[in-house]
Amino acid sequence: MALLLTEADVRALLTMPVALEAVEAAFRRLADGVAAVHPRHRLHLEGFSYLHYMAAADGTGGYEGLKIYTSSREGLRFMIPLFRAKTGELLAILEGDYLGQMRTGAATGLATKLLAREDARVVGIIGTGLQAKTQLESIVTVREIKRVRAFGRNAERRERFAREMTDKLRVPVDAVGSAEAAVRDAEILVTVTTAVTPVVESRWVQPGTHINAVGANFPQKRELDFETVMRAGPIFVDSCEQAKMEAGDLIQSFRQAPSCWDGVKELAQLVAGRAAGRNSRDQITLFKSSGIAIEDIVTAGRVYELALERKLGKQVSFWEADGARERTAS
């Protein structure tokens, strides 16, 4: 028997503090060598949807699994099969849309906690879709934010986003009419868009800003212009291997100077104290988020444990015992 957890179940169980704790644990376990991760791969035939898949194992939690999802013009569909690492037993299948939003937001919150100035109070965000909501929620959880400026291309959507997030977070969120207005004076900046060309210009970014670049997870896409990336230091990613495959902001900026990759560090190193973070007020720090499977698996494991405690979900049967017949892998 395995536990089926729907989107409604996950929403009932997963809070931002839980997600932040799980994601920080995921990176600490990577640093300690007790977790392993495979980068995202994408399968695509012209004229069909994309199939995306990524895998991880968590030795401390005792879980392993995948995140599998499809994307097309009709939308995205996410699923996480969660297995017991020692036996290979299927423990749960989780619908993974909300979980993905929360773990992506939590990674930004963790990077912000470790890299943004302690006195950072003003957030600028470009992008007002679903992912943007958990980005702000995580930042407000780790910093005492006083004001947010939000820009998205659709005026009606950004106004609605501002109202909803003001009510949810109890922090003033103002919809602004341009990307520049969101960036100017921001001490923490988030870009969470599907942009192909930069939405941030370096001349707008003040010294001391911490940037979380969350969109642009294809090599041909970017949110930050060349000058912004080159001004940043230190630069952290969740996985150097995956960043070199799909972090368009860095791939395109470093094309003429591949040695720049040598200065990019992984968030796990920062969590474990093996890489230096901010060392001055005026540094521009950058976290280029791609999203890696260990974030999903550790978070899914925690959601599974909470579901058992609270008796949520539905038990479903797979591979029911049929005597002592020996099974072999093929």
Bridge-based pairing of strands 50-58 and 63-72 is antiparallel
Q: What is the distance between the alpha carbons of residues 68 and 40, in angstroms, rounded to a whole number?
A: 9
Q: How confident is the model at residue 321 (pLDDT cuts 50, 70, 90)?
A: low
12 pLDDT higher than 80: yes
Q: 324 lies in a domain?
A: no
Is 210 in the same domain as 269? yes
Q: 76 lies in a domain?
A: yes
The rounded percent of the chain whose pLDDT value lies above 70 is 97
Is 27 in the same domain as 75? yes
Q: 326 lies in a domain?
A: no
> pLDDT tens digits for 52-64?
999 999 999 999 9
CATH of the domain at 120: 3.40.50.720
CATH of the domain at 44: 3.30.1780.10
Which residue out of 67, 221, 244, 288 is catalytically annotated? 67
Q: How confident is the model over 133-137, as a mean pLDDT? A: 98
Cβ distance 298 to 24 under 8 Å?
Answer: no
> What's the pTM?
0.94
Is 142 in the same domain as 213? yes
Is 113 in the same domain as 190? yes
Q: Which domain holds residue 64?
A: 2-100+293-316
Q: 239 lies in a domain?
A: yes
Q: 197 lies in a domain?
A: yes
List strand residue ranges (DSSP E) for the chain, in order: 2-5, 35-44, 50-58, 63-72, 75-84, 90-95, 122-126, 147-151, 173-175, 188-191, 210-213, 235-237, 264-266, 285-288, 314-316
Q: 283 lies in a domain?
A: yes
> pLDDT tens digits for 257-296?
899 999 999 999 999 999 999 999 999 999 999 999 999 9
326 pLDDT higher than 70: no
Q: What is the distance between the alpha carbons of residues 300 and 103, in angstroms, rounded to a whole number?
A: 10
Is 272 in the same domain as 231? yes
Q: How confident is the model over 129-136, as a mean pLDDT? A: 96
Cβ-in-10-Å burial (0-12, 13-18, 19+) of 314 comes to exposed
Q: Quick check: is 168 catalytic?
A: no
Is 169 in the same domain as 307? no
325 pLDDT higher than 50: no
Is 58 in the same domain as 116? no
> pLDDT tens digits for 207-250?
999 999 999 889 999 999 999 999 998 999 999 999 999 999 99
Is 210 in the same domain as 279? yes
Q: 329 lies in a domain?
A: no
Q: Is the peptide bond between 234 and the residue preceding it cis, with omega within 30 degrees of 0?
A: yes
Number of domains observed in the structure of the chain: 2
Q: 263 lies in a domain?
A: yes
Is 204 in the same domain as 266? yes
Is 113 in the same domain as 169? yes
Cβ distance 200 to 252 under 8 Å?
Answer: no
Is 77 in the same domain as 199? no
Is 46 in the same domain as 155? no
